[in-house]
């Protein structure tokens, strides 16, 4: 495990869409971070299509073909297709593997005919249940690892995951506005689970010549983000969700310390922080994921992206073609604008417009803008002695940044909650072992099924 001890960039000003310190090449002449942004389409099968392997493979065949054909029709230079597994594709490892192989063959055919660059990301489902089973020794773990194997054997170019370690604690804590439990569940337990999972994922990828891609705190920080929601939602304070995102960044970083190369997962809104630290290509989603959820990060989250995604769209007919083709077109034209800005030397101008269109829309958006993402990353790296210390430092930094910017307008409730969160974060023990002991005593009583053994503790 190689811990990050310095930032990949000298300043946030160096960060830009389409370019990274560590470009990644795979697939059919596909390169990320080498000077161009590419679209990534995530199609979702219709309910009922997953009843048999044959029907699900046919569904994916149609979605992929229509996506690739639209990209060729409109003259887009390349496209990544993400196979974000429905649970049946991981429960049955041969399903996931065969769909990956089918998708690669379709792309290879289009590459040979039309020269379109392409790649396949297989995102294996994490069906483990931390509150019910030993997540380091269970059938769901065996199936996930077997599906990584089958996908890699069938030539999936990139292997990724949305891991769930610590979710039993973070779900309990986020719903209660409990920053202690959120730091514990995501920063401490989630990071340890990622270390466990990503050692195995990287080994499998390396064995079969696949690229170990990335992870996301979708199962935790995104829960806080969705509960905070937009201007009408009050289930969780927006500042709580913003601080949780910084904790999520410290946790997600673990995959890249274990050997993941990127691109990161699109639903990891912490990815600008990851890019600042690790210098790897990132995938992001914003306005183009409106089909899946409302998103306050809209344009801003494109500011340093390398792979622009739609989250996931269910496969259906539209007036012209299907959702598979429609969202490729939307993504492709967004990407064409970014690449044109690069070609014209106007990329910093476009980036500035992206950032300022949304930066003060919400504190959660604010913390992933390049300048703030960089500062949070610096604190994570400066305190990278253990998982707890770096996650706590990132959270404190996020809270202080929000409080310190008078342009970030907060309601009295939001400001008071942020001050409360900061006080609590600063009051926690300095030593990780003391924090773990403190949390173990609290959450063993309040969270049914919680077991420290799931995390090697």
By the 8 A CB rule, do 36 and 30 touch?
no
Pairwise CA distance, residues 270 & 253, whole Å? 9
What's residue 42's pLDDT?
Answer: 98
Give pLDDT tens digits for 115-144. Answer: 999 999 999 999 999 999 999 999 999 999
pLDDT at 344: 98
pLDDT at 233: 84
Rg over CA atoms, the chain: 21
Secondary structure element (H or E) that encloses residue 124, with its range: strand 117-124
Percentage, residues of the chain above pLDDT 70: 100
Q: Which CATH number fits domain 12-235+250-359: 3.20.20, 3.30.1490, 3.30.70, 3.40.50?
A: 3.20.20
| pLDDT tens column, 387-435 | 999 999 999 999 999 999 999 999 999 999 999 999 999 999 999 999 9
Query: What is the tens place of the pLDDT at every residue in 205-227?
Result: 999 999 999 999 999 999 999 99
Mean pLDDT of the chain: 97
Coil, strand or helix at 405: coil
Determine how β-strand 283-285 pairs with β-strand 211-212: unpaired
Give the whole-angstrom CA distance, residue 175 versus residue 85. 27
Beta bridge partners of 40: 80, 309
The token pair that represents 429 in the structure block: 């023990």
C-alpha 197/C-alpha 191 separation (Å) is 10
Whether 1 shows a pLDDT value over 90: the answer reads no
- pLDDT tens for 344-395 read 999 999 999 999 999 999 999 999 999 999 999 999 999 999 999 999 999 9
Mean pLDDT of 43-70: 98
DSSP β-bridge partners for residue 26: 30
DSSP structure string for 434-452: HHHHHHHHHHHHHSTT--G
């Amino acid at each position: 495990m190689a811990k990050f001890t310095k930032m990949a960039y000298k300043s946030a000003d160096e960060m830009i869409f389409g370019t990274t310190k560590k470009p990644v090449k795979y697939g059919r002449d596909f390169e990320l971070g080498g000077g161009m942004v590419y679209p990534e389409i995530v199609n979702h099968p219709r309910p009922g299509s997953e009843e048999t392997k044959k029907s699900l493979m046919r569904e994916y065949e149609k979605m992929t073909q229509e996506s690739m054909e639209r990209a060729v029709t409109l003259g887009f230079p390349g496209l990544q297709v993400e196979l974000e597994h429905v649970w049946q594709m991981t429960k049955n490892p041969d399903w996931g593997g065969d769909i990956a192989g089918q998708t690669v063959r379709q792309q290879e055919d289009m590459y040979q005919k039309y020269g379109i660059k392409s790649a396949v990301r297989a995102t294996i489902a994490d069906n483990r249940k931390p509150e019910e089973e030993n997540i380091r020794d269970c059938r769901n773990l065996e199936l996930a690892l077997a599906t990584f194997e089958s996908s890699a054997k069938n030539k999936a170019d990139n292997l990724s995951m949305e891991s769930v370690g610590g979710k039993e604690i973070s779900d309990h804590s986020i719903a209660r506005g409990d920053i202690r439990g959120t730091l514990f569940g995501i920063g401490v337990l989630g990071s340890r689970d990622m270390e466990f999972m990503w050692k195995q994922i990287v080994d499998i990828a390396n064995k079969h010549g696949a690229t170990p891609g990335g992870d996301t705190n979708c199962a935790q920080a995104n829960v806080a983000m969705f509960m905070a929601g937009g201007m009408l939602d009050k289930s969780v304070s927006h500042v709580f969700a913003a601080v949780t995102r910084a904790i999520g960044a410290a946790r997600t970083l673990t995959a890249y310390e274990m050997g993941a190369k990127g691109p990161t997962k699109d639903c990891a809104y912490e990815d600008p922080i990851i890019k600042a630290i690790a210098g790897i290509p990132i995938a992001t989603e914003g306005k183009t994921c409106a089909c899946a959820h409302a998103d306050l990060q809209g344009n801003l989250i494109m500011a340093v992206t390398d792979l622009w995604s739609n989250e996931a769209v269910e496969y259906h007919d539209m007036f012209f073609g299907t959702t598979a083709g429609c969202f490729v077109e939307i993504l492709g034209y967004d990407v064409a604008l970014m690449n044109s800005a690069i070609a014209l030397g106007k990329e910093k101008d476009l980036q500035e417009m992206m950032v300022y269109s949304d930066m003060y829309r919400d504190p959660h958006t604010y913390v992933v803008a390049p300048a703030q993402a960089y500062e949070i990353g610096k604190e994570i790296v400066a305190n990278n002695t253990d998982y707890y210390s770096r996650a706590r430092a990132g959270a404190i930094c996020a809270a202080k940044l929000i409080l310190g910017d008078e342009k970030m307008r907060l309601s009295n409730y939001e400001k008071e909650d942020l001050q409360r969160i900061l006080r609590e974060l600063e009051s926690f023990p300095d030593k990780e072992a003391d924090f773990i002991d403190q949390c173990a005593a609290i959450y063993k009583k309040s969270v049914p099924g919680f077991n420290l053994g799931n995390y090697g503790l």
